[in-house]
Amino acid sequence: MPRPHHYTRLHNTMLPGDSCETLALGSDVMYGVKCGDKWVTICKEDIFRLSTGQAYRKYTRLFFATRKSAQAQCNKLNRIYNTNQYEVAEI
């Protein structure tokens, strides 16, 4: 879960038709999850084609403002895939 005090507000605007403000947030340091020399992105795909229409894929990039959040995701991936290849790296 994002922690607002870890970020600095760079820009904000209300887009036409939106009920929420759109923010661009910045952080002095970020942490990501790597496997070897590759940055990790998670993809969930509807392999059984349960939805009609276009193939469904949802991508999640693993970049975080705190080491603790990145480490939690790293631990989860290592547990799911039964490995110790996923690690936290400072960006």
- Cβ proximity of 62 and 43 under 8 Å: no
Residue 81 domain flag: yes
Residue 22 domain flag: no
Residue 10 domain flag: no
Residue 86 domain flag: yes
Q: Is 20 helix (H, G, I), strand (E, B) or coil?
A: coil
| Per-residue confidence (pLDDT) for residue 58, from 0 to 100 | 84
Distances (CA, A) of 13 to 4, 16, 27: 17, 10, 19
pLDDT band at 3 (very low <50, low <70, confident <90, very high): low
Residue 58 domain flag: yes
Residue 21 domain flag: no
pLDDT tens digit string along 66-85?
999 999 999 999 999 999 99
| Per-residue confidence (pLDDT) for residue 85, from 0 to 100 | 96
Residue 1 domain flag: no
pLDDT tens digit string along 9-62?
899 998 888 888 888 888 888 999 999 999 999 998 877 777 666 767 788 899
Residue 11 domain flag: no
Number of independent structural domains in the chain: 1
